[in-house]
Amino acid sequence: MEAASISHGAAHAGEHHGPPAANRSSRVEPALLGMLLFIISEIMVFGAFFTAYFFIRIASGDPWPAHGTTLPVQVAGVNTAILVSSSFTIHWAQTSIKNGNRFGLKAGMLTTFLLGCTFLFIQINEYANIGFAPQDAAQQTIFYSLTGLHGAHVFIGLLLLLFVTIRSFRGHYTPEEHRGVEVPGIYWHFVDIMWLVVYTTVYIL
């Protein structure tokens, strides 16, 4: 009787209380997987606007840009170089923290943030001086939609970069724990690549 009671108590002590542990069938970390899924969804959003863009240029046969309007290709080219440079600086920050170089992390993050701010400032200044409004014609609507959508992503990326930069200066992140730098970095690389697509199709072709 006493043995049965001990056995019952041991079995009761080994029971798991609360919800079961989450099943991780994927080897990709949740934070990284979440960012990748988010980027895929954003590619679909950009795809919808690019569909409208190509419909106007190819199916409708409308001139691009519309008659009487010009696009600041040179200014946008300089802005493209600024944004592409920020990909190299954030890669420098990521490599630095992996090697335990805290100065490289802080310098790389701060430089990336400032380059992103410069890009957004030039983009806003371009809107102020371009000479046409979104409601003027379909071409202008698509131009503002594509570049504005990308600008919104740059703004979100800057908020992430600001958060990471502040944490970097406060001594966060180590060579062992630096996922908080890598995940925003992936998003920022996506923003840069997407701008190359926007710049090539909207300003160059």
Write down the domain spans for the chain: 29-58+73-204
Closest to 94 (Cα-Cα) out of 82, 81, 107, 83: 107
pLDDT at 7: 47
| pTM as predicted | 0.81
pLDDT at 77: 95
CA distance 155 to 146: 14
pLDDT at 28: 66
Tokens describing residue 187: 């998003």
Radius of gyration of the chain, Cα coordinates, nearest whole angstrom: 25
Tokens describing residue 8: 């019952």
Q: Which residues contact 70 (CB under 8 A, 6 or more apart)?
A: 131
pLDDT at 53: 87
Q: DSSP readout, 70-126?
A: ---HHHHHHHHHHHHHHHHHHHHHHHHHHTT-HHHHHHHHHHHHHHHHHHHHHHHHH
List, for the chain, all residue ranges whose pLDDT scores fall below the cut of 70: 1-28
How many other β-carbons are positioned within 10 Å of the β-carbon of residue 7?
Answer: 10
The amino acid at residue 177 is: E
Q: Does domain 29-58+73-204 have CATH number 1.20.120.80?
A: yes
**Structural contact between residues 83 and 195, judged by C-beta atoms closer than 8 angstroms:** yes
How many other β-carbons are positioned within 10 Å of the β-carbon of residue 176?
Answer: 7
**Structural contact between residues 175 and 100, judged by C-beta atoms closer than 8 angstroms:** yes
pLDDT at 132: 86
